[in-house]
């Protein structure tokens, strides 16, 4: 399996342009110089010439420590991944003609999931002749959403999708 990687950054002799716009390590512009001259400027400072804008005319290159630059980039991407919040989804399946005790059990499980911070997907599944009475399923789901509203907010109103009616509930107090 091949992984899609970032576009490869060209450094030093990998750069193919004849002339490059060069930015010094302190951020000042050196100007448009030949590639050989830019590489020699970087070598004098003990740094690398890194192509930062390959599509510009002429390409823009910066004199910098490439190893340090890559290290900082990986640190930034790791930090961004840490800050991402991935919601886990729990699903409750109920039937349109669910008995009261079973309904209460499903409701209690839904409350526990929302208290733990999970998103909740509630689906009413129809079989056979039940499909002719979708209004009963909508009524059951609306009642469920009303009963659980004090533990979470309805994120997606009930939608009719094939043999199911689906609703999503996010954790947290409702804004009623």
CATH number at residue 32: 3.10.20.80
pLDDT at 3 over 70: no
Rounded average pLDDT over 128-155 = 91
Q: What 8-state DSSP symbol labels residue 54?
A: T
Question: What pLDDT shows up at residue 16?
Answer: 81
Q: Are residues 97 and 74 in the same domain?
A: no
Structural domain boundaries enclosing 116: 89-171
Quick check: 51 and 11 in contact, CB under 8 A?
A: yes
Give the mean model confidence (pLDDT) for residues 103-129. 92
Q: Is residue 167 part of a domain?
A: yes
Model pLDDT, residue 168: 93
Using a cut of 0.85, tell me whether the model's pTM lies above it: no
What pLDDT score does 6 carry? 52
43: phi > 0 → left, psi -120 to 50 → alpha, else beta; which?
A: alpha
CA-CA-CA-CA torsion sign (16, 17, 18, 21): negative
Tell which of 37, 61, 81 closes a domain. Answer: 81
């Amino acid at each position: 399996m091949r992984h899609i990687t970032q576009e490869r950054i060209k450094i030093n002799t990998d750069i193919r342009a004849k002339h490059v716009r060069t930015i010094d390590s302190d951020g000042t512009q050196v100007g448009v110089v030949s590639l050989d001259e830019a590489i020699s400027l970087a070598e004098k400072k003990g740094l690398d010439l890194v192509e930062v804008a390959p599509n510009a005319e002429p390409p823009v290159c910066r004199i910098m420590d490439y190893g340090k630059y890559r290290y900082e980039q990986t640190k930034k991407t790791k930090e961004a991944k840490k800050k991402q919040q991935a919601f886990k989804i729990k699903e409750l399946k109920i039937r349109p003609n669910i008995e009261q005790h079973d309904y209460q059990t499903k409701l209690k499980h839904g409350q526990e999931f929302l208290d733990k911070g999970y998103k909740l997907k509630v689906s009413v599944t129809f079989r056979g002749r039940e499909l002719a009475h979708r209004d009963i399923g909508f009524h059951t789901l609306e009642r469920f959403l009303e009963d659980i509203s004090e533990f979470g907010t309805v994120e997606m109103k009930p939608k009719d999708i094939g043999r199911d009616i689906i609703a999503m509930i996010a954790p947290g107090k409702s804004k009623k």
